[in-house]
Structure formats: C-alpha cells, structure tokens
Amino acid sequence: MVKQRGCQLLVGLMVMMAATVVRADQGALVQLVEYIGADYVNAVSDGAVTSADEYGEMQEFSRLLAEGIAKLPASDGKAELSDQAARLRDAVSMKAPVTDIKALTRAIHDTLVGSYGIPVMPRSAPDLARAKQLYRENCMACHGARGQGDGPAAAALEPAPTDFTDIDRYGDRSLLGLYTTISQGVEGTAMAAFAPSLSESDRWGLAFYVGSRAVSPSLAEHGKQALDQDMPLKRNLDLADVIARSPGDVRSQQGESAYAALGYLRSTPAPLFSQNRFIQLSADKLTEAQQAYQAGNYAAAKAAALSAYLDGFEMIEQQVAAMDPATMRQAESRFMAVREAIDNRRAPEQVSDRVNAAQRALEEAASVLGGQGLSPAATFSASFFILFREGLEALLVVAALLTFTRKAGAQRASRHIHYGWLAALLAGGLTWYLASTLITFSGASRELTEGVAGLIAAGILFYVGFWMHSNSNSQRWLGYIRDKVDSALGRGTVWTLAFVAFISVYREIFETILFYQALWTQVDGQTQAFLFYGIGAAVLALAVVSLLFFRVGMTLPLGVFFRVTSLVLLVLSVILLGKGIAALQEAGLISVMHLAVPTVDWLGVYPTVQGLLAQLLAVVLAVLLWWKGNRTRST
C-alpha cells in the first residue's frame, strides 16, 4: 500500500510538471508573437529588407512560432492558430506591410490566450517601488535610466536593447509577454532569463514597471477619470485584460478611453487587486453561465457556474463571513441554486431568476466588504477562523490517536503517527511552493482534492472508530495491550494510523494554504500585521485545545477512553463525509439537489439531499454496528 501511494504521488507530481511545461511553452509563444509584431518594423519597410539580421530573426521566430503551436495540446482553437501561424510565416517571407504583420500577430495572440487561457497571473499587487530598485540593479545598464534603451552597455549590443518609452512598441506588448521575456530571456541576445534569480512577484513587478514607461502623466490621468466615470469600462477592464492584452489591441476594440485606462492600471495596478476582483469574476462568470444556458450549451453553463463560485466568491468567503455570516451563507446557497437549476435543466427563465438572485447576493457581499479593503478587525477575524476551523478537525484526530498510543505505551505506533502528520506538513510545504510558483490550482481541482481526501479520511476514521469501540470492553485485550501493545498493534494497523494522521492533516493544510493566499491579496500594509496576529491567536487556541484533550484523555481509564475516542472519530468521519460530498458537488462531480435547510459548516451539514442522505446513512450504519457490537459482547 505504501509503495502504491508513492507511485500515485509520483504520477501526480509528473502531471503537475507536465502542466507547468505546457504553460511555459504557451508563455514562450506569447513572447514570440509579440516580439514579431513589435520588431518587424525594424526588418522590413515598403516591401524591402532594411536589416538582414532583423529579417532573419523574423523568419526564424515565425518558424518557431508555427512549430510551437503544433506541439500544443488539442483544443477548439488549435486549428485556427495553426492556420494563422502559417499565414504569418508566409507574410514574413513575402515581406508584407507592417500593418498586415501587426494584424496577424494580434489575432494569433488573442486566439492563443482565448484557446489556452492565461498561463500565469500575478497573485498580489506588484511592489513598484521594489521594481524600480530591481530595474536599477538589473536592467539600467542596458535599457538606461528612463528605459529608453540607451544604457552604458547599449552601444555594444546587437540587437539594441528595447526602448520601453517607444509608444508604438508599447502598443504591441502585453504585460504577459513582458513577464515571459523577463522570466525566460531572449535566446541569441543579451536579454538574460531572470526566473532563476528573481521571484515570480519580482518579475511581475518589473513587467508592470517597464510596461508603464511609455505612459505619460496626462494619459494616466485621462485613464483614471475614464475608470471613475465609466462603470461598464471599470467592470470590463479587469486584471486578465490588463495582463494579457496589448494597449494597441484595447484601443482598436474599445477606443481611446479604454486605452488610457489600461495605461493608468499599468502604472497604478493596486485597484486591480482589491477584493472586488473576485466579486467581479463571479459576476462575469454568472452572466456567462446564463448566456450559455440560453444558447443551449449546458456544459459551458455548468462550467461557468462552477467557476463563478470556486474561482470567485469562495476566495473571499472567509472575509465576508468574518464581517457578516448571514450574507456569506445566503450567497453560498444562491450559487448552489444556480448550479442545481442548470444540472436539472430548468426553464431558461428559472435559471435567469436564480442567476439574478446570485448577482444580488454578490452586490450585498461587495457592500459588506466595502471598497477600501478589509479592516484590521475583519483581517484578524478571518485569519483566526481560517486556521482554527481547519486545524481543529486535524488536531482532534491526531490528538485522539496519540493519546491512545501514549496511554497504552505504544512507542512504535506513536512514532508512526508523528511520521504521518510530519509528512503532511512537508507535503503542505510542497503544495504551498507549487501554488506560489509553478502551479495555479483551479477551483475545481482544489475542490476535487479536498473532496477525495475528505471521503478517504471519513472512511478510515469510521473504521478506526469501530476498531476502538469493538475492543473497548474486552478486558482480556486491554490487559494484553498494556503488556505488549506494540505487538498487538500489527504492522498494517500502525501504518493505517500513520495514514489517518497524514490524510487528516494534509486535507486541512491544502485548504488553509489556498485560503490564506486569497486573504493575502485582500490586505494592505496597514492590515498585514493583523493577518499574522490572527494566525498566532489560532495557533495558541489550538495548543490549548490539544493540551486539554491530552490532559483529560490521560486521566480516563483505557476502556472508557476507547469508547470516548471512538465516538469522537465516528462524529468526525460523518463531518468529513459531508464536507467531502460538498466539495465534490462544488467540483461538479456529484449532482446537487438543494434543500431549504441551514448550513452548519462545523458539522459538515450543507443544504443538499446528497450530502444529508450520505451523512444520515453513515449515522444509521454507525448506530446499527454499535448496537450489534454491544449485543455481541453482552451475550
């Protein structure tokens, strides 16, 4: 079993590494296509080659672009991408006009991002003051103090360093393309790769910094006024647009005001990273779900409805709950009602009504949060309850197992339990690293992981709970376990206890990490300290609970402790069963039938027929097995 679990972990890591390679390849393609669009003007003019070296580079890059697109995984837009890349390659070979090349490269860029998504997004607002310092240390020698490509080392470089203040070149480069160039460098030039030496957040900061060098104060002011006065523009120009779209593309499709607004958000990105971006994402996905359902595309409607909750509202759920629990529960139930209506193919009017109700709940959540970020009290409260709630379930499981093995003197079993939860901490650290640097966990993948882990933990806790109960009244067994407990606990049982400790702790760590990542994006310099105060208070509270559990447990007779612990583990198994079912419903793997009952999160009770029925069956089975065990012992 251990070997099999190791193989499963290896396969999982290989899948994540493969996904990272795909995203890296996609980022390189974005970089290539933007580079062609921006630099072709230096290679060809009026159908004639003006620089043989530049033109040779354009030919090579257009060939590499076509080859890279051919290696991408299948998608609905891949055939169109291949056709566009072939036309670009032909246009370069025919020395087509610059306007034609720009039109083709923008079309390829839009299709690439639209078909395969944005490979990476910044997780928090870039620190432009730090970016300015990093620019001086790493970039100024080539690109110059103002970013004009006239640094001390520039004269000796071929091709010349980029002039970031060139307004035409600015119009052709997205922040995503700049980030990829900074991360991966440009082969055959002096532009080095900074991915090994600078963190992801630092590279995003540099991308925003150099990507705003061409934005004049007057353009930025125009953009700020446009955003303040035009609410539809503010809703439509979100973080994804600012990251993935070039200013020239925005100007051609949305006009001068949007072009100016994009410039303002490049130079002042903080508004993109407020808690409202999650609300906006949810609102957009709900609208998308409604439109897809009306068009008869039920699969797309379901996917959009899931994303509206998992990738949007759930990321601010704890913050809303800290300020107004009723608003949080109402929004949660309305999102669930939308998914139920789509799953059960309700009339389009009913789906629209439920979408509208969910949109109103989002507006109420936005009102609760306000527009100025979380207050210190809300930050502390959200931070405390995230860790305390998630940590309590894992703590009770591990504390119950350790108290049992300590009372019985089972040193080998205690060591294996410690191995289990320590391994979970290491796996949690790896998850944090992957989630921070390499992998972006979608809401669906997050819920799938939580759901599967929850069901596994529920099943094992159910088994261990009844194993304890079945032996709680056996005086002969209790006497034997006092004398030879490590022998009584067979090798399989010891590894089961270790696995229970691992899966119980890792499931909570996984969710906690992702919630804290979302919370981190909602705080500013004045409230960050309260996030850590909340963590400290939660750790202290969990330590007190742990101490009380050990103190009380060690004073109970072994038989009584067996019965109490078995009951605790059985209750926890029912709670985890409900949470596992809910997570799989949120991931879209289990259908939803909504019930008008309140949510009791700490008991794993959610208003769905499937979840409540599963918990009811588990309770009935527990009662029957308990009764049967007591009856057998009495006879």
Say if residue 235's pLDDT is above 80.
Answer: no
What are the backbone dihedrals phi and psi of residue 55, each rounded to the nearest 5 degrees, phi first?
Answer: -65, -40
Please state the rounded mean pLDDT for residues 473-490.
48
Over residues 75-99, the pLDDT tens digits come to 888 899 999 999 999 999 999 999 9
pTM, rounded to two decimals:
0.49
| Contact indicator for 137, 205 with CB cutoff of 8 Å | no
Q: How far out from the chain centre does Cα 122 lie?
A: 11
Residue 346 above 70 pLDDT? Answer: yes
Q: What is the 3-state secondary structure (H, E, C) of 138-164?
A: HCHHHHCCCCCCCCCCHHHCCCCCCCC
Strand-pair partners of 48: 45
Residue-wise burial string across 487-498, b where 16 or more C-beta atoms lie within 10 A, e elsewhere: ebbeeeebbbbb
Whether the Cβ atoms of residue 290 and residue 355 lie closer than 8 Å to each other: yes
The pLDDT value given to residue 155: 85
CATH pick for 275-370 out of 3.30.450, 1.10.890, 1.20.120, 1.10.540: 1.20.120
* Per CATH, domain 128-272 is 3.50.50.60: no
Give the span between the Cα atoms of 295 and 354, in whole angstroms: 17
pLDDT per position as a tens digit, 149-178: 999 988 888 778 889 999 988 998 999 889
Domain with CATH 1.10.760.10 in the chain: 128-272
- 606: exposed, middle or buried (Cβ count in 10 Å: 0-12, 13-18, 19+): buried
Q: Considering only CA atoms, which of 284, 295, 289 is closest in space to residue 239?
A: 284
Task: Specify the CATH number of the domain 22-116.
Answer: 1.20.120
Query: Taking 90 as the threshold, does the pLDDT of residue 437 lie above it?
Result: no
Angle between helices 298-307 and 276-294 (to 10 degrees): 170
pLDDT tens-digit series, residues 22-56: 444 677 788 888 889 888 988 999 899 998 888 98
Residue 594's nearest CA partner among 244, 315, 344, 259 is: 344
Q: What is the mean pLDDT of the chain?
A: 78
Q: What is the CA radius of gyration of the chain?
A: 29
Instruction: Give the residue-averaged pLDDT of 563-573.
Output: 75
- Partner residues linked to 605 by β-bridges: 600
End-to-end CA, the chain: 37
If one compares 177 and 464, the residue with the highest pLDDT of the two is 177
Q: Using the predicted structure, report yes or no on whether residue 302 has a pLDDT greater than 90.
A: no
In a 13 Å sphere around the CA of 193, the CA atoms on its Cβ side amount to 10
Using CA atoms, how far residue 440 sits from 51, 514, 578, in Å, is 41, 10, 26
Compute the distance between CA of residue 192 and CA of residue 173 in angstroms, rounded to an integer. 18
- Where in the chain are all domains bearing CATH 1.20.120? 22-116, 275-370
In angstroms, the Cα distances linking 464 to 193, 467, 515, 530, 544 are 52, 5, 30, 39, 25
Choice between 631 and 572, residue whose per-residue pLDDT is larger: 572
State the alpha helices, DSSP H only, in 472-557.
475-488, 491-520, 528-555
Return the exposure string of 355-387: e unless at least 16 CB atoms fall within 10 Å of the residue's CB, then b.
Answer: bebbbebbebbbebbeeebbbeebbbbbbbbbb
Mean pLDDT of the region 183-203: 84
Residue 530 is predicted with a pLDDT of 85
